[in-house]
Amino acid sequence: MKFKTEKFDPTTRRSPEYELPLSERMRTFLRIEFLYQQFNYFINIDTDWASRSSVSNLLEMMSILSRGDIRSDVYKELDRHIGILTSYHSQPSVDPERLKSMVQNLTERRDALRAAGTNFIQPLRDNEFLSAIKHRNTIPGGTCEFDLPEFGHWLRQPLERRKQDFSIWLKMIEPVCNAVIELLWLIRESTEPTEESAINGMYQHKMPPYSHDQLVRVNLPKESYLFPEISGNQHRFTVRFLEWCDINQRAIQTHDDIQFKISIC
């Protein structure tokens, strides 16, 4: 297992990457990451449209975090990775200081998650302001100002005032979201990509028995005219490379042999 010393900067331009979660838990984690990143992006933009987007992202995160016991899933995953990393202490090729830092970071995430408690989401559910928006949000155009004048008034407040409220709401879900971001970074960086070839645009892979892999990542050059369609599960998966022309034509599978990079994490 190799670890990079720097984390990914989301503002850096990179080669196209496509991912397929291999479990329902990983699918949930990726959705939380997707919404959390949008939320944090839009809260710093001083327009009511950006704040509307952040509120919408928050409501969607609340919906995901209210299903089942997401907190418990994240906690178990943190525990598992702490155990895996701790077992590497005896390996001579591992940087002990780097390893110690990573274990400490995951342990802090786990402690914050434990401190949040099982009812961490309840204050957001009980918030009447958010509940009113959530109720109308399911209706197309339902959050227009004539439907929710209080929401419209709040959107006209100075950005710093809005950010105060966002900060209060964020603190309630931050322990779970930050833990998910940390876990996904660790999972992605745990495996070096390998070069593979898709014959006639098709690549198939069968997982070894008792595999614990959770995520497939396909990387293509920036200038590629193709995109991959990845489908499968924890036992096997298929990657089909499709040629894209424009939005008015359906993409078709290429007949070329494609060299690409893949990580099975």
Q: Which amino acid is at 14?
A: R
Let me know whether 132 and 213 are in one domain. no
For residue 38, the enclosing domain spans 19-189
Domain end marker among 189, 207, 226: 189
Do the domain assignments include residue 244? yes
Domain count, the chain: 2
Task: Please tell me the pTM assigned to this model.
Answer: 0.88
Q: Report in angstroms the alpha-carbon separations of 138 from 59, 148, 235, 257.
A: 11, 13, 37, 45
pLDDT of residue 210: 82
Domain end marker among 174, 189, 204: 189
Q: What CATH number did the domain enclosing 65 receive? A: 1.10.3900.10
The 3-state secondary structure of the chain reads CCCCCCCCCCCCCCCCEEEEECCHHHHHHHHHHHHHHHHHHHCCCCCHHHHHHHHHHHHHHHHHHCCCCHHHHHHHHHHHHHHHHHHHHHCCCCCHHHHHHHHHHHHHHHHHHHHHCCCCCHHHHCCHHHHHHHHHHCCCCCCCCCCCHHHHHHHCCCHHHHHHHHHHHHHHHHHHHHHHHHHHHHHHHCCCCEEEEEECCEEEEECCCCCCCCEEEEECCCCCCEEEEEEECCCEEEEEEEECCCCCCCCEECCCCEEEEEEEC
| pLDDT tens track for 124-171 | 999 999 999 999 988 888 899 899 999 999 999 999 999 999 999 999
| pLDDT tens track for 176-209 | 999 999 999 999 988 899 999 999 999 999 988 8
d(Cα 55, Cα 255) in Å, to the nearest integer?
A: 45
Contact status, residue 64 vs residue 70, Cβ threshold 8 Å: yes
Do the domain assignments include residue 11? no
Using the predicted structure, report yes or no on whether residue 69 has a pLDDT greater than 90: no
Mean pLDDT over the full length of the chain: 89
Let me know whether 115 and 179 are in one domain. yes
Do the domain assignments include residue 185? yes
pLDDT of residue 257: 93
Q: What are phi and psi of 263, to 5 degrees?
A: -125, 130
d(Cα 22, Cα 55) in Å, to the nearest integer?
A: 29
Domain end marker among 173, 189, 205: 189
Let me know whether 205 and 89 are in one domain. no
Contact status, residue 74 vs residue 140, Cβ threshold 8 Å: no
pLDDT of residue 2: 40
Do the domain assignments include residue 236? yes
d(Cα 89, Cα 78) in Å, to the nearest integer?
A: 18
